[in-house]
């Protein structure tokens, strides 16, 4: 008995130590972003990581890697998270819509007419996105965050669809090109690095993009007007691999979800302020913001109707449900 007592005590102490170690287990995950460190999406992801670390007492440490440092390209991120190549990543929703068509509704041209409508669409779409990503793509959305809506930057004032005819416009995606073609303009899918020189030499005379890009590109040096008519309003989402998420303690899971909800609210407020701030900066440097009348918006909606109709014809049923619910919510028929 005297000999076995020390052995039993040692086993007991070892068990206690193991339980304590397990309860204090820490996790270090890479959190991927393809955007530069000073981009508002990267800044948001850094803030999310700090809040999670603080809330979990350091048990969950998300190491944010910006600028595509981990080597993943935007369009492959939905698959990368699904396959466990990354535990967490930020991704442009429209950038991965080639793999999951229901996501394409976010940037359907002239569906969203204001920042507030963009938030409405996001709230309506979110439960459907959650369901599809968890079931089909084995990942969980932690939060979704907007980009400022795209408008038209031009050398001449644009107050109607007629003013757009003949423009040579730099576009950044298929939807933007379709919109410009529908208005009688010619789209030029140039990389951003070539935009300034193309404007300076006259290859193009207008650009379809958002206000932060106007500041980045110093458009006031080569353009004069900005027409905020919300062609599309892109969004990002931050997702986590479901298998990795399920390994976490309930407390850490709860922290990720609740802080994700908090960040979603923060990002919507922040981006609305950022958008106005960037436009003011352009105005202060000489850009004139042209008012977009209701008549002009109705014209744009009408000439791009075929784009939305073609999308609707091919869209998954889940996307059609989101589309119909959104239109009903904002009181429009199409």
Q: Report residue 161's pLDDT band, with 50, 70 and 90 as the boundaries.
A: very high
Same domain, 227 and 240: no
Residue 322 has pLDDT above 60, yes or no: yes
| pLDDT attached to residue 3 | 52
Mean pLDDT for the stretch of residues 138-156: 96
For residue range 90-136, what is the model confidence (pLDDT) as tens digits?
999 988 999 999 999 999 999 998 899 999 999 999 999 999 999 99
How high does pLDDT run on average in the chain? Answer: 92
Based on its alpha-carbon atoms, the radius of gyration of the chain, rounded to whole angstroms, reads 24
Counting residues of the chain whose pLDDT is more than 70, the rounded percentage is: 93
What pLDDT sits at residue 8?
A: 47
Q: Same domain, yes or no, for 266 and 132?
A: yes
Per residue in 203-212, pLDDT (tens digit) is 999 999 999 9
pLDDT tens figures, 35-87: 989 889 999 999 999 999 999 999 999 999 999 999 999 999 999 999 999 99
Helix, strand or coil, per DSSP, at residue 310: helix
As a whole number, mean pLDDT of residues 291-309 equals: 94
**Domain co-membership, 259 together with 119:** yes
**pLDDT value at residue 11:** 46
Output the pLDDT for position 7: 46
DSSP string, 165-217: TT-EEE-SSHHHHHHHHHTT-EEE---GGGHHHHHHHTS-SEEEE-HHHHHHT
- The answer to whether position 301 is within a domain reads yes
The pLDDT of residue 173: 83
- Comparing CA positions, the residue from 73, 18, 61, 44 lying closest to residue 248 is 61
What's the pLDDT band for 196 if we cut at 50, 70, 90?
very high
Average pLDDT over residues 240-268: 98
Question: Quick check: 105 and 319 in contact, CB under 8 A?
Answer: yes
Are both 61 and 121 inside the same structural domain?
yes
More confident residue, 21 or 233: 233
Asked whether the beta carbons of 127 and 318 are under 8 A apart, the reply is no
Count of domains forming the chain: 2
63 shares a domain with 206:
no
Please give the pLDDT value at position 245: 98
What CATH number has the domain bearing residue 174? 3.40.190.170
Is residue 267 assigned to a domain?
yes
**Is residue 70 domain-shared with residue 133, that is, in the same domain?**
yes
Verify that 51 and 121 share a domain, yes or no.
yes
Residue 137 in any domain: the answer is: yes
Q: Is residue 72 part of a domain?
A: yes
Residue 324 belongs to domain spanning: 151-231+286-330
Same domain, 238 and 261: yes
**pLDDT mean over 128-146:** 98
Domain-located, residue 4? no
Nearest one of 151, 152, 148, 153 to 118, comparing CA atoms: 148
- Report the pLDDT value the prediction gives residue 24, as an integer from 0 to 100: 62
Residue predicted with more confidence, 8 or 195 = 195
7: in domain: no
pTM of the model: 0.85
Co-location of 37 and 127 in the same domain: yes
């Amino acid at each position: 008995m005297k000999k076995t007592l020390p052995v039993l005590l040692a086993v007991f102490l070892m068990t206690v130590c193991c339980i304590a170690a397990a309860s204090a287990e820490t996790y270090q995950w890479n959190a991927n972003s393809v955007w530069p460190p000073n981009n508002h999406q990267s800044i948001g992801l850094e803030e999310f990581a700090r809040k999670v670390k603080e809330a979990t007492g350091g048990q969950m440490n998300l190491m944010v890697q910006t600028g595509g440092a981990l080597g993943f390209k935007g369009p492959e991120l939905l698959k990368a998270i699904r396959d466990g190549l990354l535990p967490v990543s930020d991704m442009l929703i429209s950038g991965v819509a080639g793999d999951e068509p229901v996501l394409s509704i976010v940037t359907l041209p002239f569906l969203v007419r204001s920042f507030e409508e963009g938030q409405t669409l996001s709230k309506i779409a979110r439960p459907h996105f959650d369901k599809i990503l968890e079931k089909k793509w084995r990942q969980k959305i932690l939060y979704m965050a907007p980009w400022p809506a795209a408008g038209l930057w031009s050398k001449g004032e644009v107050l109607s669809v007629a003013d757009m005819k003949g423009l040579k416009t730099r576009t950044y995606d298929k939807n933007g090109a379709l919109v410009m073609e529908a208005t009688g303009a010619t789209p030029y899918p140039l990389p951003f690095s070539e935009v300034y020189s193309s404007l300076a030499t006259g290859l193009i005379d207008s650009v379809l993009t958002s206000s932060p890009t106007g500041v980045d590109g110093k458009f006031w040096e080569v353009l004069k007007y900005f027409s905020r008519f919300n062609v599309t309003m892109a969004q990002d989402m931050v997702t986590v691999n479901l298998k990795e998420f399920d390994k976490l303690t309930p407390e850490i899971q709860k922290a990720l979800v609740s802080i994700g909800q908090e960040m979603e609210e923060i990002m919507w407020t922040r981006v609305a302020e950022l958008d106005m701030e960037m436009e003011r900066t352009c105005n202060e440097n000489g850009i004139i913001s042209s008012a977009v009348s209701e008549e002009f918006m109705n014209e744009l909606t009408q000439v791009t109707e075929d784009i939305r109709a073609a999308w609707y014809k091919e869209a998954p049923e889940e996307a059609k449900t989101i589309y119909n619910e959104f239109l009903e919510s904002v009181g429009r028929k199409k």
